Structure 1
Amino acid sequence: MAIPAAPEPRVEILRAPDLYVQRDSMINLTCILHDVPEPPVFVLWYHGNKNMSLSSSRGGFSMVIEKGPTTISYLLLQNAREEDSGIYRCAPSNLNATSIRVHVLNGELPAAMQTNSSHHPTPRHLLHLLVLPVLLLLLPTTTPTVLSTLLLPNRWVEIT
């Protein structure tokens, strides 16, 4: 009897290829690495060609990575502004990068948001979107150092 092949590792950013957000809201980009044989050493985020963790002068953003068989990396940007629009790439150390186009709106509703989308998040993806806020609420009681790092702009937090 043949042993089934392991699933191919893959990377996705939730709500890709386009994400529409209102100005002054929070941008939450979630990159999921599925079926990775081992967690990546790092996951970098780029806005255009700029590495968000090294060269960004934006401030008001945080990166969180949760490593495991399914690794999840979050890029959170507070107070979305028009210059936050553009292509964002999630680039894990052990897989090819994937991207999403972010559109920061000033009260308008684009036509793409007025029609039905063929991509619907799975319950598992919705769970990932709920886990981060819960994690942020629980951190003050368990690890104040990690919470203070999350609240400081331009900081990297790694959860293993």
Structure 2
Amino acid sequence: MSIGCKLYLVLEILTIILQDFICADISLSSLGKNSYNSYSESHPKWNLVSNVTTQIGTHAYLPCKVKQIINKSVSWVRVRDDHILTVDRMTFIADERFQSFYVENTGLWTLQIKYVQARDAGLYECQVSTEPKVSARVHLHVVVPRTELIGDPDRYVKAGSTVVLHCVVRGALEPPSYIIWYHDAHQLLGENQQKWKIKLDRGQPDSDGDIPNVVGSLIIHNVNKRDSGNYSCSPSNSLPLQITLNVINDESSVSAVTSSATRFLCSSYYSLGLLLSSFFVLIVNVILMAPHK
């Protein structure tokens, strides 16, 4: 064995002895599960990575359990930019959403991130100011629900009919507490027995998981021309989507639309016929004018 390898082995042994001597042990502990946060429990080791999954707009709680530590500071660091977020209970970032909590006699330090944003996703490191440094990491995953429409976003309906508009919220850890519908800038509140009804139904789970979809429905009875316009589906935990409703007043309007479309097609075919006729005339002239042998 070379002298370099022997020296490296001695340093490794000394590091382990020093770790036991200072009696600092750090781990990522589970805080349990609630409706939108889930945690992975890990055994006490160095540089472990635990996973925390939370939904955008909710609060995230990153756990770190430190045992047998005396007069040593505990810090939380955002790994992507090495920004120190907290040292003990003091916050060292201008973003007030970050805060560190300690539960007495448990050794549990928790980094709270309020109103989580998509950009908060990534690695966070809990560090103890021992020598050598003892640390563990938490990987924060941020779930962003998505809103999708059922059917064509541009709808044409006949006056007097009943129209049902649907939007679906997919991939949410916690279902939306409400879905608000707007007609142009006017919010449709509650239920109008004679005109509209709003429903919120939990659908079937996604094919890639056990998270159920939520379907928001707006039912409009006896639609008329005034009901035409833009309808927005706005969930509490996802981006809004818009549906355009076009109400055709009566049969004459339908006939007008149909005849207009027919006239357009006839005009197009007529123009195409003229073009083809001109082309054939040109070919014939070329043939006739060609010199004969």
Aligned partner (choices 231, 234, 239) of residue 88 of structure 1? 231
Aligned partner (choices 229, 234, 240) of residue 97 of structure 1? 240
1:61 corresponds in structure 2 to 196
CA-based RMSD of the aligned residues comes to 2.8
Deviates more, 1:42-51 or 1:99-108: 99-108
1:31 aligns with 2:167: yes
1:79 aligns with 2:222: yes
Please tell me whether Structure 1 or Structure 2 has the larger radius of gyration of its CA atoms. Answer: 2
Deviations 1:129-157 (A, max 9, x none): xxxxxxxxxxxxxxxxxxxxxxxxxxxxx
8 A contact 1:66–1:72 mirrored in 2: yes
- Aligned-pair distance for 1:53? 1.2
Structure 1: runs of 5+ lacking an equivalent: 115-160
8 A contact 1:16–1:99 mirrored in 2: no
- Aligned-pair distance for 1:6? 9.0
How many equivalent pairs are there?
A: 108
Deviates more, 1:7-16 or 1:79-88: 7-16
Return the alpha-carbon distance in structure 1 between the equivalents of residues 224 and 188 of structure 2. 16
1:18 corresponds in structure 2 to 154
Paired residue type of 1:60: K
2:182 corresponds in structure 1 to 46
Structure 2: runs of 5+ lacking an equivalent: 1-140, 204-211, 262-293
SS at match of 2:189: helix
Q: Which has the higher contact order (CA 8 A, sep 6+)?
A: 1
8 A contact 2:183–2:231 mirrored in 1: yes
Return the alpha-carbon distance in structure 1 between the equivalents of residues 235 and 155 of structure 2. 21
Deviations 1:15-42 (A, max 9, x none): 2320111000001001111111210011
Paired residue type of 2:157: V
Deviations 1:101-145 (A, max 9, x none): 00001231757xx8xxxxxxxxxxxxxxxxxxxxxxxxxxxxxxx
Deviates more, 1:79-88 or 1:11-20: 11-20
- 1:38–1:57 Cα change, 3 Å: closer
- Aligned-pair distance for 1:8? 5.1
- Aligned-pair distance for 1:13? 2.0
Deviates more, 1:35-44 or 1:102-111: 102-111
Provide runs of 4+ in structure 1 moved above 4 Å.
Answer: 5-8, 56-59
Q: Which has the higher strand share?
A: 2
